[in-house]
């Protein structure tokens, strides 16, 4: 079975960023004896930034690309490296713990591996009531590390277990988002807690919403053994 990197969407999830809800459901039709239409049919409201989601450059740039514009090419599938930093380099300030990942830390983990997608987490982080990476344990890249990924490694997808790609409280700038968006799409709030570090095949298509800066995604990681098994079935 593949690793599923997204939490189940439910009304009990904790919202982020001041969103009034994560998920709401409204019944439009209820299957009732003798009443048409004979179906259950709901309207769904989703606040994507409180869920595992994909972001396009429109998120930080009014002239940027919306999610539907990334469906050309291989942004949402391909060979992927899960980087799971060891130890606890979170530095505390005013009750918030921040690990800013350096170029050197990333380079040590990636080495000469040739992959187009990077998912970043640590082997230690608490979770909130919804099971996501605790928002008070901030994990972001340094600008040098982000530049290394897009310029030296040529990635086209960057993913993180934390809820954002920048940590700039009270500031207008979003430098890490902007650097990553030069070449890549972004996934945030990935559930990587039980995923071992290593190489996988990622499939992470969001909903193709026209003009959206973000969209919820159910991301799947397949091991090489699983891919080989699928290939052998196709060749029978």
pLDDT tens per residue across span 52-85: 999 999 999 999 999 999 999 999 999 999 999 9
Would you state the pLDDT for residue 233? 62
pLDDT digits (tens, 9 = 90+) for 115-132: 899 999 999 899 999 999
Where does the pLDDT of residue 38 fall: very low under 50, low under 70, confident under 90, or very high at 90 and above? very high
Q: What is the mean pLDDT of the chain?
A: 94
Round the CA-based radius of gyration of the chain to a whole number and report it.
Answer: 19
pLDDT score of 49 more than 80: yes
Which tens digit of pLDDT belongs to each residue from 17-32? 999 999 999 999 999 9
Confidence band for 13, pLDDT divided at 50, 70 and 90: very high
Q: Is 89 left (phi over 0), alpha (psi -120 to 50) or beta?
A: alpha
Three-state DSSP class for residue 163 = coil
- Give the phi and the psi of residue 146 in degrees, each rounded to 5: -65, -40
Q: Rounded to an integer, what distance in angstroms lies between the CA atom of residue 147 and that of residue 107?
A: 12
Q: Which CATH superfamily is 55-234 part of?
A: Putative cyclase (3.50.30.50)
What is the spatial distance between Cα 67 and Cα 58, in angstroms, rounded to a whole number? Answer: 8
């Amino acid at each position: 079975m593949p690793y599923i990197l997204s939490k189940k969407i439910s009304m009990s999830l904790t919202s982020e960023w001041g969103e009034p809800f994560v998920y709401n459901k409204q019944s439009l039709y209820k299957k009732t004896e003798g009443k048409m239409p004979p179906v259950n049919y709901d309207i769904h409201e989703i606040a994507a930034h409180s869920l595992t989601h994909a972001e396009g450059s429109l998120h930080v740039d009014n002239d940027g690309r919306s999610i539907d514009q990334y469906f050309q090419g291989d942004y949402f599938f391909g060979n992927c490296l899960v980087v799971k930093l060891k130890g606890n380099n979170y530095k505390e300030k005013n009750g918030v713990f921040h690990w800013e990942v350096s170029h050197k830390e990333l380079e040590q983990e990636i080495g000469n591996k040739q992959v187009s997608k990077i998912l970043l987490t640590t082997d230690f982080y608490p979770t909130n009531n919804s099971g996501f990476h605790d928002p008070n344990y901030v994990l972001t890249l340094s600008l040098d590390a982000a530049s290394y990924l897009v310029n030296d490694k040529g990635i086209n997808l960057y993913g993180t277990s934390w809820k954002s790609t920048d940590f700039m409280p009270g500031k207008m700038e979003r430098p890490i988002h902007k650097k990553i968006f030069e070449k890549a799409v972004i996934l945030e709030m990935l559930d990587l807690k039980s995923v071992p570090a290593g190489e996988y095949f990622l499939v992470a298509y969001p909903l193709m919403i026209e003009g959206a800066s973000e969209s919820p995604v159910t991301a799947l990681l397949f091991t090489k053994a699983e891919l080989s098994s699928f290939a052998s079935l196709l060749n029978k």
